[in-house]
Structure 1
């Protein structure tokens, strides 16, 4: 059944009330036509509940816009949704990635995440390729997908909106990794379901690292908004070694936009629920609006919190990751780097959920706190204990 307009509809009921489902909900293919976004294909999803989001086909099928009943959720940075043909991945000493960084979700990977790195390339068995140089957060986020399908699927009286595509990060004498992505949303729901498979299509043993940079903006993020998560330990904070309180912003409660704010990053060790899931939310109780992310800890054992509170850049990042925050050298030293042989794959199954009112926020906070109650101190001392990541 579809829950729409404060009543329940069967498939027959909806068909009787309109000539096409697109009057209420659907998936539509469009192309942007101006400025740095010109030529970028996207899919617009509308579930009929008030949830609307767009999928950038030409940007790894990442999620760009996201809003609910006209209230924005996804972050729009100054860089915009830049066409991948304009992107210079290796530019600015590896920081060129920032010039294409915008939207609710940016995928990081597929063989590298986090800060710049130069790694030995012996596993590619090609003399001239002595090393693999990686810029910030990897290459995948600006690779166009091959769209393999999209549309509506009915199972009885339940209608699922869906899209699928393949993103290939491939080169000669190097990696040949494929991201097979499926995005789903049920008509009448406030949820986005993301199902990813990363497959080694090549025949070289290849490293794999993966992270979602999920960026929530105003009005969910606002003065007094709260980060709510089942934090059992604060592992690391980027600014703790200097003056932890220098910018007067802790991990829990968010301020208004700041001037000359330097980004702050935490890594938290999260307690999973009985089903192995970790749920993290940003809630704005003052306006009854929030957003939560649900992942499997077996797939994303690490979780970062990114605060970019600079005026004009105002965003809060929820970042589930395959590895700890120190990146590839740290992972290799601890034997925690994922290596994929031909045909090997890793799966990632996540849910993004709108919390549209006070009741939904209260329910989400109660669910999270039933798993673990986060530290009450805004500035908990980082433990420095990075839990082992097994089964690599």
Structure 2
């Protein structure tokens, strides 16, 4: 059964009321035609229950704009969604072509500050957000009583005389559900051990972020990336401040549990413009702490850069060389694979 519009429907009941299920929800492929986005493909996914989002196979299979009932929940950077050909890997130039959006993947062998180590020089946050996917596909079909929507792509970080890391990403949603699941497999296709750093840079923005927004974090050992940072406002938000300097916090969840979760509770999110019985929105991000044992929180209530980053990871953000110094760098052995699964749920209050 599919729950839509306040009741449950069978497949045949829904099919009898529409010419195509696409009227209710599904996946479509688009090609962007102007500006720095020109030539870039994108998949739009609509679940029919309020959630819609755009997946960019030309740019890391990452997710740009996400909306709930037509209202944005993600933050969009001033860059827009420029084609990956604009990417410059030197230093911090990643910032000139990063898209923002709901998800920017950082990795696969480098996350955080640029630098240099025995493997060579590396730029901010690695290459994968700017890597076009191969073997891209999308489809929507009935699986039993569920109508499921899939987008899929394969991304590789490679170098002659270097290493090859392969990321296979599948993003799944269902008709009638305000939920998406990201299923990633990273494989070391090389014949040498390879550093593997992975961080899922989820970016939330206005109007999900308002002065009454509450951020519920897991019970953790928490520290600031930089000395002297204010630790008193981790669970709250504030109005835009053009003089604000970014704050980055590191959280190591204390309790061993099957899933770690973060909730963003927005009492004033304007769902009631569409549904008078709803008061606000709660967004919950859940993941497996076995493969992603760390959480980075990017708090940036600036003007224009008005964004909260919730970032499950297997590393911190000081760069690969620093991870080696602290003996915390994850190494993938030849042929080794690691699987990641992240779920994002949207629920009107």
TM-score, normalization by structure 1: 0.83
Question: Equivalent residue for 2:225?
Answer: 238
Q: Is the 8 A contact 2:27 2:149 kept in 1?
A: yes
Task: Tell me the secondary structure at the aligned position of residue 249 of structure 2.
Answer: strand
Q: How does 1:1-392 map to 2 (within 5 A)?
A: 1-90=1-90, 94-101=91-98, 102-121=100-119, 132-234=120-222, 236-239=223-226, 241-242=227-228, 244=230, 250-272=233-255, 274=257, 276-287=258-269, 288-356=280-348, 358=349
How far did residue 272 of structure 1 move? Answer: 4.8
**What are the superposed Cα offsets for residues 261-305 of structure 1, whole Å, 9 maximum, x if unpaired?**
11001111224564x210002211233123221011111111011
Structure 2 Cα separation of the partners of residues 43 and 272 of structure 1: 37
Q: 1:50 to 1:222 in 2, by over 3 A?
A: same
1:201-224: per-residue Cα shift (whole Å, max 9, x none)? 222321111001100010111112
- 1:97–1:136 CA contact under 8 A, matched in 2: yes
- Distance in 1 separating the partners of 2:84 and 2:220: 39
**CA contact 1:277–1:294 (8 Å) conserved in 2:** yes
Distance 1:57 1:200 in 2: 21
SS of equivalent to 1:180: strand
Q: Give the conservation status (yes or no) of the 8 Å contact 1:301–1:320.
A: yes
Give the C-alpha shift of residue 153 in structure 1: 3.0
**Secondary structure of the residue that 1:85 maps to in structure 2?**
helix
Q: Give the Cα separation in 1 of the matches to 2:316 and 2:212.
A: 29
Equivalent-residue separation in structure 1 for 2:234 and 2:213 (angstroms): 11
Superposed displacement of residue 18, structure 1: 1.3
- Using structure 2 for the length normalisation, give the TM-score: 0.93
Q: Which residue of 2 aligns with 1:374?
A: none
**Could you give the per-residue CA deviations for residues 62-85 of structure 1, whole angstroms, max 9, x where no partner exists?**
010100101111110111111111
Counterpart CA distance in 1 for 2:94 and 2:240 is 23
CA distance in 2, matches of 1:350, 1:173: 33
SS at match of 2:315: coil
Mark the runs of 5 or more structure 1 residues left unpaired by the alignment. 122-131, 359-392
Once the two structures are TM-superposed, the CA of residue 238 in structure 1 deviates from its matched residue by 3.0
2:22 match: secondary structure: helix
Q: Does structure 1 retain, via aligned residues, the 8 Å contact 2:156–2:164?
A: yes
Aligned residues between the structures: 338
Q: Once the two structures are superposed, what CA deviation does each residue of 1:311-353 show, in whole Å capped at 9, x if it has no partner? A: 0110000011111344423432343322223321111000011
- The CA deviation string for residues 220-249 of structure 1, in whole angstroms up to 9 with x for no partner, is 111121111122321x2134x23637xxx7
Whose helix fraction is larger, Structure 1's or Structure 2's? 1
Corresponding position of 2:274: none
Question: Partner of 2:180: helix, strand, or coil?
Answer: strand
CA offset at residue 59 of structure 1? Answer: 0.5
Structure 2 contact 152–168 (Cα < 8 Å) conserved: yes
Residue 17 of structure 1: SS of its match in structure 2? coil
